Amino acid sequence: MSEIDPRAIISPSARLGKCVKVAACAVVGDGVELGDGCILEPHAVVKGPSKFGRNNHFHSFSIVGGDPQDYTFTGQPVRLEVGDANEFREFCTVHRGTLKGDGTTRIGSHNLIMAYAHIGHDCNIGDYVTLINGSQLAGHSQVEDYATLSSFVLVHQFTRIGRYSYIGAGTIITQDVPPFSLIVSSRDTHCYGINRVGLERRGFSPERIKAVEKAFRYLLRSKLNTSQALEKMRGTLADSEDVSTLIRFIESTTERGLTK
């Protein structure tokens, strides 16, 4: 049975699943669909049109599903679609899509969006992604599964963040980030190697990690250019699915280039 505080504000057009909890002064706006077990803490705001799966948790003062910050938006029926079991912490913001994208911002499942983090319009977020406090995604960004963005990471619009990558605090990302990589801004933003600690925490075996490390040695520390490094990976690491993932990502890198 749902628990709705009488001081909450819920639109007549909103649809709530089973066992939803909405605390005092929380707002559920027009066109919002909340799946079973969702929780809104006091003063959390969810706007629509938007659709959420089960067991999403909206902490106080989070604003999820707001209008896109884009001059071309004039009230079009754009959306936000969210999976299951995401945590939206205090003061984070998530915006719906625009017609310049496909009209929809998408977030998968089991993501942790920490305080003051921002997900802009038309972004596409995978599963088990962590946006640490103050990290900011500009519009049309893509973040693949298990990626971690540390505090105050800034991501340029249309940039892709590869799976299992880790971006250190304060880093400004203007080019695609390869899967499995560790990216930190010291003087210049470049790739320092693989995200070994993160991969170990996600259950990667020593053999998988060794293969990815070898691929990154070809990419970063040899005298090979990127095309030559890819050929070397194909010739010596063809049996590694992780390396194949890396190769596919690099080959589809956008015009913004690759962080190396």
User: Does position 154 have pLDDT exceeding 70, yes or no?
Assistant: yes
Out of 3.40.190.10, 3.40.50.170, 1.20.1180.10, 3.40.50.300, the CATH code matching 199-251 is: 1.20.1180.10
Q: Per DSSP, what are the bridge partners of residue 131?
A: 113, 149
CB 81 within 8 A of CB 107: yes
Residue 8's CB is within 10 A of a number of other CB atoms, namely: 18
43-47, 159-163, 204-208, 222-226: range with lowest mean pLDDT:
222-226
Tell me which of 59, 95, 118, 121 is the catalytic residue.
121
- Record: fold of 3-143: UDP N-Acetylglucosamine Acyltransferase; domain 1 (2.160.10)
Q: Which residues contact 131 (CB under 8 A, 6 or more apart)?
A: 92, 111, 112, 113, 114, 117, 119, 137, 149
CA 145 to chain centre: 8
Region 183-188 average pLDDT: 78
Annotated catalytic, 48?
no
Stretch(es) of the chain classified as CATH 2.160.10.10: 3-143
User: Does position 66 have pLDDT exceeding 80, yes or no?
Assistant: yes
pTM of the model: 0.89
Tell me which of 70, 122, 145, 242 is the catalytic residue.
122
Annotated catalytic, 122?
yes
- The span from the CA of 168 to the CA of 191, in Å, is 11
Tell me which of 37, 139, 162, 198 is the catalytic residue.
139
Rounded to 10°, the helix 206-216/241-251 angle is: 30
pLDDT of residue 187: 59
User: Does position 255 have pLDDT exceeding 80, yes or no?
Assistant: no
Question: Does residue 212 sit in helix, strand or coil?
Answer: helix
Annotated catalytic, 139?
yes
Stretch(es) of the chain classified as CATH 1.20.1180.10: 199-251
212 phi/psi in degrees, rounded to 5: -65, -40
Comparison of pLDDT for 210 and 190, the residue scoring more:
210
